[in-house]
Structure 1
Amino acid sequence: MIPYGRQSLNAADIDAVVAALQSDWLTQGPAVPAFESAMATRCGANHAIAMCNATAALHIACLALEVGPGDRVWTSPNTFLASANCARYCGATVDFVDIDPQTLNMSVEALASKLARAKTANQLPKVIIPVHFSGQPCDMEAIGELARQYGCRVIEDAAHAVGATYQNAPTGNCAYSDITIFSFHPVKIITTGEGGMALTNDPELAQRMSRLRSHGIVREPAELENESDGPWYYEQIDLGYNYRMTDLQAALGSSQLQRLDLFLNARHALATRYDTLLADLPVTLPKRLPHRQSAWHLYPVQVAPESRRTVFETMRAAGIGVQVHYIPVHLQPYYRDQGFRPGDYPHAEAYYRGAFSLPLYPSLTAGEQDRVVTALSNALA
């Protein structure tokens, strides 16, 4: 089976993890801040806070922005559940903004219209979470301007977009957002096994997220509420969580980061080759947008909705591990119980009915890619 995604590990990655295993630190040691510093430098952000996974990072980001009961958070329906669930963990109400059928990201026009209506109804969101679906950056300048106009905060869900660029600047620089979230799951652009990271330019948000990922504990004298009993002393000043990344994960992440450009170049070349090989087939290919460079986490295509299941099952039977990204979040039973219904976000639903993702990862060979294209051609026939 050719999977839709796969990690790319080499001897240097293994050596980095072995070195961490042989060090004095397995959990919270020097490898974590080294990885954070390297990611912040790469992205042009002031602060980076590593966590055990991207869902945890999204949760902590919402908490750092003081999302709670009575607040509203809006995100895209075309995403993994975590983009919405993170707000529900905080007790907030979740709503969605339909996608642009060309970009498959949050529609700026739909967002502007919905914000105008929400202001009239006194129901503006506290936080907007645009999602860089498949690695393609959202129109963050427009979203950031709307958020500023209506007094909202912004969390970029960039789980797919490590290494992507927008207006010739790296995703993660937080130029138009308060916080950006990355994922380092094995199928993502670089991996730490499991892992995530929050980046921000705000020192207070960075301090808050760092505290919340580790039980809400502080040790620095300036942060203590009471006089210290001695060098062992610490205080819990928030209800935090154990969302920390280990040194083993961070060592792997730092090693992977050194090959990020190689990974991106391979993904770009494979995506370009797909564009050529699929040009004459009856499929809708992903759009390439000006002033943006996708990280190509996914290569999503669309076929006629009435044939999607047959094509999908035929390709799986041929050993091609296609996958669907995503079932619109609002159609899940949990969110239907919140009052959402089919038809609420027609562009996301229309995309879902014909969509699936083709295999794309750096070690995918030309021969394997040819097998994918042949299987798709046969399935469509």
Structure 2
Amino acid sequence: MIPYGRQEITQTDIDAVVAVLQSDFLTQGPQVPLFEDAVAAYCGARYAVAVNSATSALHIACMALGLGHGDTLWTTPITFVASANCALYCGAQVDFVDIDPITYNLCPVALERKLLLAEQQGRLPKVVVPVHLCGQPCDMEAIFALSQRFGFSIIEDASHAIGGKYKGEPIGSGRYSDVTVFSFHPVKIITSAEGGMALTNNAQLAQRMDLLRSHGVTRNPDLMTQESDGPWYYQQVDLGYNYRMTELQGALGLSQLNRLDQYVSTRHELAHRYDELLADLPLTTPWQHPDGYSGLHLYVIRLHLDAFKRSHRQIFESLRGHGIGVNLHYIPVHTQPYYKHLGFKEGQFPEAERYYAEAISLPMYATLTALQQDVVVNVLRDLA
């Protein structure tokens, strides 16, 4: 089976993890802070807070921004459910903004229209979560301008996008957002096995996310509300969670970070080759906005189904039947049963639903070979 994504674990990675196993610290040691510092420096951000998943990073980012009961978070329907669920964890409500039909990201034009209506109704969002789908950055300059006009905070869900750039700056720099979130899940561009990170340029947000990832417990006298009882003393000053990243994960992530630029460059070479090989088939290959340099976590095609002799499902199952582990990213969140129970209905976000009816994620990872690509393309050609 050719998977849609796959991690690469080198001997250097293994050595880094073994060194931690042989050290004094399996958690709360030096590796996680080193990983945080390295990612922050790479992206040009002031602070980084490592956690056990990007979902946890989204949650503590929402909490740090004060999202809670009576508030609303807006995001795109074409994302993993975590981009919306993080609001529900905080007791807030969720709504969606339809996608741009070319980039598949949250559409800033649709966002402005919805904001104008929400302003009239007194229902503006507190937080907007643009998702850099497949690694391609959203139009963050436009979204940021709207945030200044309408007064909402921005969390960039960059789970797909580490190593990418927007207007020449690394995604994660924080120029157009309050917090940026990365994922280090095994199928992402680099991995820490499981793990995530929240980046910010705001010292108060960083301090609060640091507190929330570890039970709301602190040993910092400056954060305590009463006098210390002694050198053993700690205080719980908030309700936090056990979202810490382990030293094993930190060491693996730090090792992988050294190959990040190489991985993204290779993904671009593979994408360019796909573009050329698929050019004469009845499908749309990914379009890259000139303002962005995608991390290319995913390579998504859209089928021109009227030109194929098979349905979307038949094409998907045929590819799987030939040993090609294609996937579909994503099922529109508003069509999920849980969200239908919250009142969402099919037909509310038509561009997202059209995308879902035509999209397939082809295999894309740094160790994908030309021969494997040829297999993928030849099967598609036979199906056309």
TM-score (norm 2): 0.98
Q: Measure how far apart 1:379 and its partner are.
A: 2.2
| Separation in 2, partners of 1:202, 1:333 | 37
Q: Measure how far apart 1:307 and its partner are.
A: 2.0
State the secondary structure of the residue aligned to 1:138.
Answer: coil
Whether the aligned pair in 2 keeps the contact of 1:5 and 1:359 (CA below 8 Å) is yes
Match of 1:39 in 2: 39
Whether the aligned pair in 2 keeps the contact of 1:75 and 1:131 (CA below 8 Å) is yes
| Separation in 2, partners of 1:259, 1:74 | 34
Deviations 1:45-68 (A, max 9, x none): 000000000001101100001111
2:344 pairs with 1:328: no
| Separation in 2, partners of 1:124, 1:291 | 28
State the secondary structure of the residue aligned to 2:325.
Answer: coil
Matching of residues 254-273 of structure 1 within 5 Å: 254-273=254-273
Whether the aligned pair in 1 keeps the contact of 2:137 and 2:161 (CA below 8 Å) is yes
| Separation in 2, partners of 1:232, 1:34 | 26
| Separation in 2, partners of 1:218, 1:26 | 20
Matching of residues 313-352 of structure 1 within 5 Å: 313-352=317-356
Whether the aligned pair in 2 keeps the contact of 1:320 and 1:372 (CA below 8 Å) is yes
Q: Measure how far apart 1:295 and its partner are.
A: 0.5
Q: Measure how far apart 1:220 and its partner are.
A: 1.1
Q: Measure how far apart 1:308 and its partner are.
A: 1.0
Match of 1:129 in 2: 129
Matching of residues 352-367 of structure 1 within 5 Å: 352-367=356-371
Matching of residues 1-381 of structure 1 within 5 Å: 1-305=1-305, 307-380=311-384
User: Matched residue pairs, number?
Assistant: 380
Deviations 1:64-118 (A, max 9, x none): 0111111010000000000000001111110000000001000010000000100
State the secondary structure of the residue aligned to 2:283.
Answer: coil
Whether the aligned pair in 1 keeps the contact of 2:48 and 2:199 (CA below 8 Å) is yes
| Separation in 2, partners of 1:96, 1:84 | 9
Could you say what the CA RMSD is over the residues aligned between the two structures, in angstroms?
Answer: 0.7
| Separation in 1, partners of 2:279, 2:232 | 65
Whether the aligned pair in 1 keeps the contact of 2:32 and 2:247 (CA below 8 Å) is yes
1:270 partner letter? L
State the secondary structure of the residue aligned to 2:155.
Answer: strand
Q: Measure how far apart 1:222 and its partner are.
A: 1.2
Deviations 1:333-380 (A, max 9, x none): 111111111110000000000111000000000101111111111122
Runs of 4+ in 1 over 4 A off after TM superposition: none
| Separation in 2, partners of 1:156, 1:126 | 14
| Separation in 1, partners of 2:270, 2:333 | 29
| Separation in 2, partners of 1:304, 1:55 | 34
2:87 partner letter? A
Whether the aligned pair in 2 keeps the contact of 1:128 and 1:154 (CA below 8 Å) is yes
Whether the aligned pair in 2 keeps the contact of 1:221 and 1:228 (CA below 8 Å) is yes
Q: Measure how far apart 1:178 and its partner are.
A: 0.3
Whether the aligned pair in 2 keeps the contact of 1:156 and 1:181 (CA below 8 Å) is yes
Whether the aligned pair in 2 keeps the contact of 1:310 and 1:379 (CA below 8 Å) is no
Identity, % of aligned pairs?
60
Q: Measure how far apart 1:304 and its partner are.
A: 3.4
| Separation in 2, partners of 1:372, 1:13 | 30
| Separation in 2, partners of 1:254, 1:107 | 34
Q: Measure how far apart 1:221 and its partner are.
A: 1.3
| Separation in 1, partners of 2:34, 2:121 | 47
| Separation in 1, partners of 2:346, 2:14 | 47
Whether the aligned pair in 2 keeps the contact of 1:5 and 1:187 (CA below 8 Å) is yes
1:161 partner letter? A
| Separation in 2, partners of 1:41, 1:117 | 40
| Separation in 2, partners of 1:214, 1:41 | 23
Whether the aligned pair in 1 keeps the contact of 2:284 and 2:304 (CA below 8 Å) is no
Deviations 1:285-304 (A, max 9, x none): 11011120001000000113
